Amino acid sequence: MAGNVKDLLRSLVGGIEGLVGAVVVGMDGATIEALKVDPNFSVEEISEEGAVASKVLDYMCQKLDGGPIDHIMLVAERYIVLLAMAGQDYYVGIVINPRGNVGKARLQLRRFMPEIASVLNAGVA
């Protein structure tokens, strides 16, 4: 399952300046695939928390009749975290440093998410 997802994740993050790491996660919090650029950052540790945040914010969007979540962006002092939904059962998390290229990260998510979602949801990741 990891081969195609790994290749797609590598393509997605290719060229994103300031990348710290990226992860593909099931909504149960289980890491499907992870890429680490900064050896001091444990990208796998955000897996469960990202799933919880996605569920809470999805519930909020339902209450607002806002439709399904496309992506979530969290900006903190040391990191920018983007979580993009890949169907209802998975998400992709990208972590970049504050000087990283958020625009490129968002563009890459829009470009690659349909294919990542298709591979994950087909079960042939």
If one counts the domains in the chain, the total is 1
pLDDT means over runs of 10, the chain (125 residues): 79 93 92 90 82 88 88 93 90 94 94 92 67
Per-residue confidence (pLDDT) for residue 9, from 0 to 100 = 94
pTM: 0.88
* CATH assignment of the domain containing 88: 3.30.450.30
Q: Of 102, 101, 81, 87, whose CA–CA distance to 22 is shortest?
A: 81
Per-residue confidence (pLDDT) for residue 49, from 0 to 100 = 86
Per-residue confidence (pLDDT) for residue 43, from 0 to 100 = 82
Q: Please measure the distance between the N-terminal and C-terminal CA atoms of the chain and give it in whole angstroms.
A: 4
Could you tell me where the beta strands, DSSP code E, fall in the chain? 19-26, 31-36, 71-75, 80-85, 90-96
Per-residue confidence (pLDDT) for residue 51, from 0 to 100 = 86
What is the extent of the structural domain holding 25? 2-122
